[in-house]
Amino acid sequence: MVNSGEKSHPALFPPSNAGIKMKKSMIVTGGSRGIGAAVSRLAAARGFAVCVNYQNAREAADSVVADIVAAGGQAVAVQGDVSNEEDIKRLFDTAETELPPLASVVNNAGIVSSLKRLDQKSADDIRRTINVNLTGVALCCAEAVRRLSTKYGGPGGSIVNVSSAAARIGGANEWIDYAASKGGIDTLTLGLAAEVGAEGIRVNAVRPGLTDTDIHAAAGAPDRMATIAPNIPMKRAASPEEIANAIVWLTSDEASYVNGSILDVAGGR
């Protein structure tokens, strides 16, 4: 077990009689809450050992790990900011040291900016959104390629980036900078899929639509789901589990020829 200092947790391993043999691992950035927590739980149920990354919500990350372990799975919680290169390296190092070989990386961590017209936003707000959502995903993708690519002696694997329907819609009067960061993720996904497709790595993205998580209240709009739902063909928000189903499928062998795809999971919006 590696103790990487204050920012990492001890790994929690299943009891030896748990009967489940984990042979591959998944890193889920922002795995402590919302869509990332649903991905972590589902991936564990599908046989992945899961590295649950979080930034601040240590108790939530511990709770996801505890649920996985209680179900006979294997998981570790690792604190780290996805926009910080040293944190990313420590995140991947911890996963590689404490869990079975890395097979998949889900770049889910993301933030929204303040709900304002672009001309009302501060430069810091815009920079932070692009830094976490786009630079963070690019840095995590780069680290994933260095660990997984057959070019570097790795086993290959898959990367799923979590974009947003906002990349198509544009985020007018809410968060154009957020939408643009997600548009950047889409382009990054297409380019990286072409760049490393021959190196054993599939790269895809999921574009969730309105999803029932804390992200809306955190942006100061707890009623946002109720306001937007009538404009969605299916007249409701997604559950985090509905988004997780698509993400985990993309990491699976069932999606073995899916590369460079951007999958809308948005209820027809």
Interaction between residue 14 and ligand NAP (CB under 6 A)? no
Cβ proximity to ligand NAP, 135 vs 252, nearer residue:
135
Interaction between residue 183 and ligand NAP (CB under 6 A)? no
DSSP per-residue codes, 175-234: -HHHHHHHHHHHHHHHHHHHHHGGGTEEEEEEEE-SB-STHHHHTT-TTHHHHHGGGSTT
We find the least distance from the C-beta atom of residue 262 to ligand NAP, in angstroms, to be: 12
Amino acid making up residue 178: Y
DSSP per-residue codes, 86-138: HHHHHHHHHHHHHSSPEEEEEE-------SS-GGGS-HHHHHHHHIIIIIHHH
Considering only residues 215 to 254 of the shown chain, the ones binding ligand NAP according to CB under 6 A are 215, 218
We find the least distance from the C-beta atom of residue 264 to ligand NAP, in angstroms, to be: 10
Contact 50, 85 (CB under 8 A): no
Cβ proximity to ligand NAP, 158 vs 164, nearer residue:
164
- Interface residue with ligand NAP, options 25, 55, 149, 259 (CB under 6 A): 55
Q: Which of 157, 123, 164, 129 is nearest to 143 (CA)?
A: 157
Selected range binding ligand NAP among 6-14, 24-32, 143-151, 226-234, rule: CB under 6 A = 24-32
Interaction between residue 171 and ligand NAP (CB under 6 A)? no
- Interface residue with ligand NAP, options 51, 162, 176, 201 (CB under 6 A): 162
- Interface residue with ligand NAP, options 97, 214, 233, 236 (CB under 6 A): 214
- How far apart are alpha carbons 198 and 262 in whole angstroms? 19
Q: Which of 78, 110, 75 is nearest to 93 (CA)?
A: 78
Interaction between residue 94 and ligand NAP (CB under 6 A)? no
Residue 59: helix, strand or coil by DSSP?
helix
Q: Which of 29, 25, 105, 39 is nearest to 242 (CA)?
A: 39
Cβ proximity to ligand NAP, 58 vs 146, nearer residue:
58
Interaction between residue 189 and ligand NAP (CB under 6 A)? no
- How far apart are alpha carbons 29 and 55 in whole angstroms? 9
Cβ proximity to ligand NAP, 18 vs 138, nearer residue:
138
Interaction between residue 210 and ligand NAP (CB under 6 A)? yes
Cβ proximity to ligand NAP, 102 vs 232, nearer residue:
232
Question: Catalytic: 178?
Answer: yes
Q: Which residues are catalytic?
A: 178
Residues making contact with ligand NAP (CB under 6 A): 29-30, 32-36, 53-57, 81-83, 108-111, 132, 162, 164, 208, 210-211, 213-215, 218
